[in-house]
């Protein structure tokens, strides 16, 4: 079995279902001029693509985003243990942030350097429990088997980054783990990969 229990991360199929559900609701909310259904898509995708802790994502300000350089990154300030770190992000996250920033401007939400990226309708930064409620709704609507918490997005990021790169040190740095031993849970073979490899063992 994997060092990371199955219920703690989302399969690729579950991630795709979640993306589709949140995207469709976000687009419908934009068409209707509503705000409530827009923000869950962007903060959940932000956590998934950057692998941040939910508490870190909620504290991100626009000044912490450096997405115009050749090596785009998010600067995490005062992460776990009071540590700062640089988290490199894919170009897809650059596109999503630019799209979200334009939407915020259209609905007159502040987008200055000292403003939080993700705020409530009262302009306060999101609390981690707010994102937990969003993920619980995803789980309930889609009837997913995993825990489907904000932290499961972080686990999913780390697991699939390791599967792609086989670079445990990279995963450790992205996650901000002090000890690489904490990161080794992502280096074990997942049940899905084990099953697929066994299934194809005799296939020519």
List residues with catalytic annotation. Answer: 53, 80, 151, 154, 177, 186
| Per-residue confidence (pLDDT) for residue 164, from 0 to 100 | 93
- 169 located within any domain: no
Buried-exposed string 44-70: b where 16+ CB fall within 10 A, e elsewhere: bbbbbbbbbbbebbbbbbbebbebeee
Q: How confident is the model at residue 150 (pLDDT cuts 50, 70, 90)?
A: very high
Quote the domain boundaries for residue 100: 11-148
- 86 located within any domain: yes
Q: How confident is the model at residue 1 (pLDDT cuts 50, 70, 90)?
A: very low
| Per-residue confidence (pLDDT) for residue 189, from 0 to 100 | 65
Q: How many domains does the chain have?
A: 1
What pairs with residue 85 in β-bridges?
76
- 15 located within any domain: yes
Does the pLDDT at position 2 exceed 70? no
Share of the chain above pLDDT 90, in %: 76
Q: What's the whole-number average pLDDT of the chain?
A: 92
- 28 located within any domain: yes
Does the pLDDT at position 26 exceed 60? yes
- 202 located within any domain: no
- 126 located within any domain: yes
- 121 located within any domain: yes
What pairs with residue 125 in β-bridges?
119
Q: How confident is the model at residue 56 (pLDDT cuts 50, 70, 90)?
A: very high
Q: What is the CATH number of the domain that holds 138?
A: 1.10.443.10
- Contact indicator for 21, 141 with CB cutoff of 8 Å: yes
- 59 located within any domain: yes
């Amino acid at each position: 079995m994997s060092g990371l229990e199955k219920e703690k991360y989302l399969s690729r199929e579950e991630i795709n279902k979640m993306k589709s559900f949140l995207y469709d609701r976000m687009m419908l909310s934009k068409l209707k001029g509503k705000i409530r259904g827009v923000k869950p898509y962007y903060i959940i995708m932000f956590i998934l693509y950057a692998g941040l802790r939910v508490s870190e994502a909620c504290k991100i300000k626009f000044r912490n985003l450096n997405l115009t350089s050749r090596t785009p990154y998010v600067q995490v300030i005062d992460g776990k243990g009071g540590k700062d770190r640089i988290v490199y992000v894919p170009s897809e996250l650059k596109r999503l942030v630019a799209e979200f920033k334009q939407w915020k401007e259209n609905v007159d939400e502040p987008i200055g350097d000292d403003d939080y990226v993700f705020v409530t309708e009262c302009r306060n930064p999101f609390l981690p429990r707010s994102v937990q409620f969003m993920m619980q709704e995803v789980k309930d609507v889609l009837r997913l088997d995993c825990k489907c918490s904000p932290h499961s997005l972080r686990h999913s990021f780390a697991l699939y980054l390791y599967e792609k790169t086989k670079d445990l040190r990279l995963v450790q740095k992205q996650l901000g783990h002090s000890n690489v031993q904490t990161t080794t849970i992502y280096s074990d073979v997942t049940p899905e990969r084990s099953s697929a490899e066994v299934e194809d063992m005799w296939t020519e």
